[in-house]
Structure 1
């Protein structure tokens, strides 16, 4: 471990804080307890001191009295100050609906952002929801800094969560030199997203030709190839005639009939509800899904392959209508909360 002076010097050298800011923080600490400056820091000390330098945000784990007011101070004051104005948060509102739950709404550099949150009491922050959505506060663009959550080696109840704003190189230096553990520091998030988007663009470019070939090869002449609900029931009957259950569909995932059915189901969903294709990777394999055209806080997703397998497993040709309902619920939920927001804005 190191001392507070050594930590401050290293953050200055890394370009995380200015020399003037570091000197001011050390001087302020020294005025009330000078011995702190040269004491060996433990994990608890590091978690407590980093926010003092303005390069970290502490999300309170104990009683905050009024959670909406706390979110407003945290986002509008602390985040804006920590990022040096790269991220400016305004208009924070906590909206509640008895059917759809709670959502935190705010403007990030003038653009609307929604977070899904849950509170058993107005006295406590939903720390898990904040963690899952904190990436919305990264500066982005040409700014390489990201918020990394510090991971504790010793966990206790009602502890604050601390997020450090740093470049990957700065975070690695703090990890290697001061023993700090950052969540997601070495995750290849950007590369994975680029890879998934490249695959999806190529896959979508073949859509019309692939569906035409699938129709010619596998569909009977009376099949209503019009992307309607009736056509989904007809597809369900063809599916049940070919496969006897969930696992049989999954085993045939790469075969032409199933891959074409995945395309047709997805394209039908897109015509029925505002939604779009998306892609992500699991164990080096692409997973194609349909996601609702809503902010992430409201998003519903359907993996067409799983929907086909479920219909075969349930032996229900009408089950392919279910994904439409799931996606429509997400769109309706978003519309409901926007109306609630409009009604509350003076």
Structure 2
């Protein structure tokens, strides 16, 4: 808890109404609940009393750090409480903790009628996966023009509860500055999403449309140019760089045949990365990607978020799976790894990463107690 000005339950109710976080009716109900165990509503709130009061006003989602009696029921409660804070714009249903035949676990639920999967991993003792909740709770934020985001007040130790509050950036700063809540993520920017996909859920077209709604305009324009020019670019690359007899058939075996051509040209990773915009390496990136698209359900992806990581401003291949199972292969990085390690078969092995994601999704679908929705890859 950060230092805050003197705060009482009554003062808190007034400020929450002024901030637009609760209605007058909600404030009255919260004060009535607090009054049952702390009758003096003008007494200063100290320490965790502030967080307890926030909870009574219906603004907090608690994620228990210790064992729970029933994992599925624990997740169900968290999802429903988080969705309820949206005021109706987010509706959650059909919550199910799925365990497949290989012991893998995933949390499945419907968000506004569309399936969502969260990967979960439980340690012995039936503790909720707090890390996954922290990484994925944004799935339950209101969309459109609603600026509210989930801000976390994490427990100090592994087994302590985490608490989440749905607030606008201005409200979150007030909760920290006036109420003393050490909320994390005050500098985070909420992604601006486009309209929802209209293609049938789980189809190739749906995945492409869903990607597009989260991409910046420059990223969408780049990906459109990249894919539209694919056939002509590969034809030029084939003519200019591939020897006669090369098996240009988009098979995994053809990726094996490509490797010696790469190794002859590039002594290491840095050489490949430096030549990434050149015609030979760019053509190889295109060919690897188009091969993967043909052997495993996947699609081209691209993002332009101003980040300095291996996945920004670089063409990639994404598995056609829900986000909870998503796997990504960056052909340029695979070419760099081949040149660095000189291990044959590395390019074709890229298929395995994508295949594993698709297989895990299918196993989870098959393991559901309820009939699975159409989520075809």
Shared fold, TM over 0.5: yes
Q: Which has the higher strand share?
A: 1
Structure 1 length-normalised TM? 0.89
- Residue 283 of structure 1: aligned partner: 308
- Residue 157 of structure 2: aligned partner: 156
Question: Which of 248, 265, 268 does residue 288 from structure 2 map onto?
Answer: 265
The answer to which of 281-290 and 57-66 deviates more is 281-290
CA deviations over 1:250-304 (Å, ceiling 9, x no partner): 2322322112211111111111111112223432851332110001111111111
Deviation at 1:140, TM superposition (A): 1.3
Q: Does 1:54 align with 2:81?
A: no
- Residue 112 of structure 2: aligned partner: 109
Whether contact under 8 Å (1:146, 1:166) holds in the other structure is: yes
Task: Identify which of structures 1 and 2 has the higher relative contact order when contacts are C-alpha pairs closer than 8 Å and 6+ apart.
Answer: 2
The answer to which of 207-216 and 17-26 deviates more is 207-216
Q: Does 1:25 align with 2:26?
A: no
Whether contact under 8 Å (1:236, 1:317) holds in the other structure is: yes
Deviation at 1:36, TM superposition (A): 5.7
Question: Which of 312, 318, 334 does residue 339 from structure 2 map onto?
Answer: 312
CA distance in structure 1 between the aligned counterparts of 2:85 and 2:229, rounded to whole angstroms: 46
The answer to which of 130-139 and 251-260 deviates more is 251-260
From the superposition, tell whether residues 193 and 138 of structure 1 become closer, same or farther in structure 2 (CA, over 3 Å).
Answer: same
Whether contact under 8 Å (2:253, 2:348) holds in the other structure is: no
CA deviations over 1:36-74 (Å, ceiling 9, x no partner): 6431443x3333332221222111112322212212222
- Residue 150 of structure 2: aligned partner: 147
Number of aligned residue pairs: give it: 341
Question: Which of 75, 79, 98 does residue 75 from structure 1 map onto?
Answer: 79
- Residue 39 of structure 1: aligned partner: 44
From the superposition, tell whether residues 63 and 36 of structure 1 become closer, same or farther in structure 2 (CA, over 3 Å).
Answer: farther
Deviation at 1:181, TM superposition (A): 4.1
Which structure 1 residue ranges, 5 or more long, are not aligned? none
Q: Does 1:13 align with 2:29?
A: no
Question: Which of 335, 338, 356 does residue 329 from structure 1 map onto?
Answer: 356
- Residue 178 of structure 2: aligned partner: 177
SS at match of 1:290: strand
Which structure 2 residue ranges, 5 or more long, are not aligned? 193-213, 373-377
From the superposition, tell whether residues 210 and 187 of structure 1 become closer, same or farther in structure 2 (CA, over 3 Å).
Answer: farther
SS at match of 1:190: coil
Deviation at 1:98, TM superposition (A): 4.9
The answer to which of 189-198 and 227-236 deviates more is 189-198
After superposition, where does 1:178-217 map in structure 2 within 5 Å?
A: 178-188=179-189, 190=191, 193-194=215-216, 195-217=218-240
From the superposition, tell whether residues 333 and 80 of structure 1 become closer, same or farther in structure 2 (CA, over 3 Å).
Answer: same
Deviation at 1:189, TM superposition (A): 5.1
CA distance in structure 1 between the aligned counterparts of 2:266 and 2:102, rounded to whole angstroms: 38
Whether contact under 8 Å (1:234, 1:317) holds in the other structure is: no
